[in-house]
Amino acid sequence: MKFSATDRQKTLYINGLSGSKPLIPIDANKLRETAKERLSTEAYTYIAGGAGREDTMTANRQGFNQWQIVPRVLNDVSERNTSLNLFGQSLNSPFLLAPIGVLEMAHRNADRAVAQAAKNTATPMIFSNQASISMESCARILEESPHWFQLYWSQSDELVKSLVKRAEGCGCTAIVVTLDTTLLGWRSRDLDLAYLPFLEGKGIAQYTSDPVFMQMLEEKDDTAAKQTSRNINPTSLAALVGLAWRFPGSFLGNLSSGTPLKAVRKFVNIYSRPSITWENLAFLRQHTSLPIILKGILHPDDALKALQYGADGIIVSNHGGRQVDGAISAIAALPDVVKAINRKIPVLMDSGIRGGADAFKALALGATAVCIGRPYVYALAIAGSEGIEELINNYKADFELTMALTGCKSLEEINKNCLT
């Protein structure tokens, strides 16, 4: 059934007559606060936190507030069309779900719950390289519904090739290469807790389901062992047991083989490649015919490089302020990047999207589409798959109403004149 913003709005009000309230708070701050009550301290900290003093996170919101929408009237907005075509696929709205790792921290169904909500709303899901559930399992849920794969360029070209082939094999229609996380940012809140989920074997399902990665575990690797060796005490023993539970295969087999710990060590050692340069992109081009989308572009000169090196799309993003503290907000970076790209390839955007009006502003500044990040993780924590579905429908409704009330009937009519 075709989505309608007014139907969504009516449903919420009419449900209220019989005493039923929305599953998740509509307000972005209340959503986060409610999720905080459901999440462990470690999980909330990992999801909500950013780099350093978190000034980039603050800037992401302030950046949106610096632009204001100027509504227009008497323009017959009774019919509205929010559809678009992106990389040859037709989408019913300009929203995608950003790649977010370690979702098992938010809900036991993790990426599966996201896949179900994405399918029910026909919203593209970008599988994270750090997912808690393998891409193949999620793709089986999504079937024909659009899904992309996000890649972290590991130390091993063989692993990169294998991940990309698997993505093609399970029906992904684009590869997103995240460029802003060749090293992990200085994440104050996580450092205070001395907590990193990957060391507990969380968020490494794309690796443990990969034949090339599993083969690599057979290789001797002393440096990795040193990096993750810990003191033996009740806490570290509990972590080891948890790791053996979560790891594919039998619990006892995992405990006796020590494979889970080997996998974590190997992952820590190879997960990213700080030496990567523009020249490496040719390797990826050689190994996939899918569109290649570069995530984490903020400078117009990098946007020009992306064009020069044959990218098919870019995502303007500062990783939700998790990488560089005191960085430019994504929405502030967008206009110059859009200008540099000059409509040659789609420019997507994320970092700070907290509702339909934010998406409207991003599109008015030249974005083709936007990715929802943390809010869907909070919705997942509160109400699982249904929570995410509600969140997406709320964003779509909010966006469509904002568009109509600004006098726009379709995405093509949204432009910089809509803002001041």
Ligand X SMILES: Cc1cc2nc3c(=O)[nH]c(=O)nc-3n(C[C@H](O)[C@H](O)[C@H](O)COP(=O)(O)O)c2cc1C
> Which listed residue (82, 93, 116, 128) binds ligand X by CB under 6 A?
128
Q: How many residues sit close enough to ligand X to count as binding (CB under 6 A)?
A: 22
Q: Are 399 and 65 in contact (CB under 8 A)?
A: no
Supply φ then ψ for residue 270, to 5 degrees: -120, 0
The first and second tokens of residue 252, run together, are 């006892």
| Shorter beta-carbon distance to ligand X: residue 147 or 254 | 147
* Contact predicate 53/188, CB 8 Å: yes
Nearer to ligand X, 130 or 288 (CB): 130
Task: Kindly tell me the burial class for residue 208, based on how many C-beta atoms sit within 10 Å of its own C-beta (0-12, 13-18, 19 or more).
Answer: buried
The tokens describing 196, both together, are: 């990193």
Q: Three-state SS for 144?
A: coil
| Residue 112 vs 319, nearer CB to ligand X | 319
Residue 400 interacts with ligand X (CB under 6 A): yes or no: no
Question: Of the candidates 295, 325, 355, 389, which one interacts with ligand X according to CB under 6 A?
Answer: 295
Binders of ligand X in range 364-393 (CB under 6 A): 373-374
Query: Based on C-alpha coordinates, what's the Rg of the chain?
Result: 21
Exposed e or buried b per residue across 141-157, where buried means at least 16 C-beta atoms within 10 angstroms of its C-beta: bbeebbbbbbbbbbebe
Distances from the Cα of 221 to the Cαs of 224, 247, 268, 269, in angstroms?
6, 20, 11, 9
Residue 145 or 178: the one with the smaller Cβ distance to ligand X is 178
Q: Is 350 in the site for ligand X (CB under 6 A)?
A: yes
- Which CB sits closer to ligand X, 34 or 128? 128
- Binding map of ligand X across residues 29-58, x = CB under 6 A, - = no contact: -----------------xx-----------
Q: Which member of 197, 201, 352, 384 binds ligand X (CB under 6 A)?
A: 352
- Nearest Cα to 94, choosing from 335, 396, 341? 396
* Residue 150 touches ligand X, criterion: CB under 6 A: yes
Q: Taking the complex as a whole, how short is the minimal distance between the CB of residue 101 and ligand X, in angstroms?
A: 3
Report helix, strand and coil shares of the chain as percent, to nearest 5.
Answer: 50, 10, 35
Q: Of residues 60-79, which lie at the interface with ligand X (CB under 6 A)?
A: none
Considering only the stretches 21-29, 127-135, 230-238, 391-399, report the one whose residues sit in contact with ligand X under the rule CB under 6 A.
127-135
Q: Between residue 79 and residue 108, which ones bind ligand X under the rule CB under 6 A?
A: 98-101
Catalytic residues: 319
The rounded Cα 265 to chain-centroid distance in angstroms is 25
Task: Give 217 or 377: the residue with its C-beta nearer to ligand X.
Answer: 377
Nearer Cβ to ligand X (261/294): 294
The interface mask with ligand X, positions 250-289, x = CB under 6 A, is ----------------------------------------
Report the residue from 166, 246, 265, 319 that binds ligand X according to the rule CB under 6 A: 319
H-type helices in 129-180, by residue range?
135-142, 157-169
- List the one residue from 121, 254, 329, 351 that touches ligand X (CB under 6 A): 351
Start-end of H helices in 247-373: 251-257, 259-270, 281-287, 300-308, 330-341, 356-364
Give the interface segment with ligand X, choosing from 249-257, 315-323, 339-347, 412-420 (CB under 6 A). Answer: 315-323
Angle at CA of residue 305, ends 299 and 309, nearest 5°: 150
327: which 2 tokens? 């960085």
Footprint of ligand X on residues 162-191 (CB under 6 A)?
A: 178
> How open is the CA angle 326-327-329, to the nearest 5 degrees?
120
> Which residue type does 107 have?
H
Stretch that binds ligand X, among 158-166, 256-264, 278-286, 349-357 (CB under 6 A): 349-357
Residue in the shown chain whose Cβ atom is closest to ligand X: 373
Task: Please report, as residue ranges, which positions from 202 to 231 form the binding site for ligand X (by CB under 6 A).
Answer: none
Q: Is 353 in the site for ligand X (CB under 6 A)?
A: yes
Among 197, 201, 313, 320, binds ligand X (CB under 6 A): 320
Q: Measure the CA–CA gap between 157 and 415, rounded to whole angstroms.
A: 42
Q: Report the nearest approach of ligand X to the CB of residue 117 (Å).
A: 16
Please identify, using beta-carbon distances, which residue of 321 and 404 lies nearer to ligand X: 321
Stretch that binds ligand X, among 30-38, 252-260, 303-311, 317-325 (CB under 6 A): 317-325
**Whole-angstrom distance, CA of residue 6 vs CA of residue 401:** 8
Closest CA to 110 of 96, 123, 125: 125
DSSP state letters, 179-234 = -TTSS---BHHHHHHT--GGGGTTT-HHHHT-HHHHHHTTS--HHHHHHH----SH
Residues that bind ligand X (CB under 6 A): 46-47, 98-101, 128-130, 150, 178, 295, 317, 319-320, 322, 350-353, 373-374
